[in-house]
Structure 1
Amino acid sequence: MEDKTVSIQPHFNVGNLQRYLSMKLGVSNDDTFTVRQYSVGQSNPTFFIQTTSNSYVLKMRPRDELIPGVQKMETEYLIQKTLFSAGFPVPKAICYCSDVEVIGTEFYVMDHVKGRIFRDLQLRGLSPAERTALHVAMVEALAKLHSLNLASLKLEGFEKGPGYCRRQVSLWTKTYKTSAHREIPAVIELSDWLMNNLPEKDDEVTLIHEDYRLQNIVFHPTEARVIAVLDWESSTTGNPLIDLAFLLAPFYWPKSFNIGMILGGLQGVEGVPAASDLISVYCRCRGIPSDSLPQLNFFLALSAFKVLVAQGLMTHVLQEPTNVPNADQLLQNMELLAKIALQRVKRPLTDPRRDAQLLQTGRGHGVLQQVKDFIWLYVLPAEQEVVEYYQKHVHSPQRWNTPQIMEDLKEKAKEVGLWNLFLPAVNGLTQVDYAYIAEETGRCFFAPEVFNCQAPDTANMEVLHMFGSEEQKKKWLEPLLRGEIRSCFCMTEPGVPSSDEANMECILHRDEEDYVINSTKWWCSGAGNPKCKVAVVMCRSSRDVSSRHGQHSMILVPMETPGVKLIRPLTVFGQDDAIHGGHFEVHFENVRVPASNIILGEGRGFEIAQRRLGPGRLHHSMRAVGLAEHALELLCQRAASRQTFGKKLHQHEVVAHWIAESRLMIEQTRLLTLYAAHSLDTLGSRAARKQVAMIKVAAARMSCKVVDIAIQLHGAAGVSQDFPLAQMYSYARTLRIADGPDEVHLSSIASLELKDQLRKSQAKL
Structure 2
Amino acid sequence: METDVAREPETIEVLSQHKFDCRSLENYLNQHLPGFRAGAEPEAKLTVAQYRSGQSNPTFYLQKGFQAYVLRKKPPGSLLPKAHKIDREFKVQKALFSVGFPVPKPLLYCNDASVIGTEFYIMEHVQGRIFRDFSIPGVSPAERSAIYVAMVETLARLHSLNIQSLQLEGYGRGAGYCKRQVSTWTEQYQAAAHQDIPAMNQLSDWLMKNLPDNDNEENLIHGDFKLDNIVFHPKESRVIAVLDWELSTIGHPLTDLAYLTMFCFWPRRVPLINQISNLQENKGIPSMEELISIYCHCRGINSILPNWNFFLALSHFKMAGIAQGVYRRYLLGNNASEDSFLFASIVQPLAKTGLQLSKRTFSTPLPQTDAAGQLFGQTRTGQEVLTRVKHFMKQHILPAEKEVIEFFVQNKNSVDEWKKPLVIDKLKEMAKAEGLWNLFLPAVSGLSQVDYALIAEETGKCFFAPDVFNCQAPDTGNMEVLHLYGSEKQKQQWLEPLLQGSIASCFCMTEPDVASSDATNIECSIQRDGDSYVINGKKWWSSGPIFLGNFHNVVFKRGSHKNIQDWVEAAVEECNALCDLDGNIHAFAHVAVGDQGVDDVYGLAELDNVIRQLSDNENYNHCEQNFEGSRFFNVWRLDKCPCCEKVAHSHYKKGYYKSNADFQHLNRCFH
Relative to the length of structure 1, the TM-score reads 0.43
Q: Looking at secondary structure, tell me which structure has more helix per residue.
A: 1
Whose radius of gyration is greater, 1 or 2?
1
Q: Looking at secondary structure, tell me which structure has more strand per residue.
A: 1
Relative to the length of structure 2, the TM-score reads 0.49
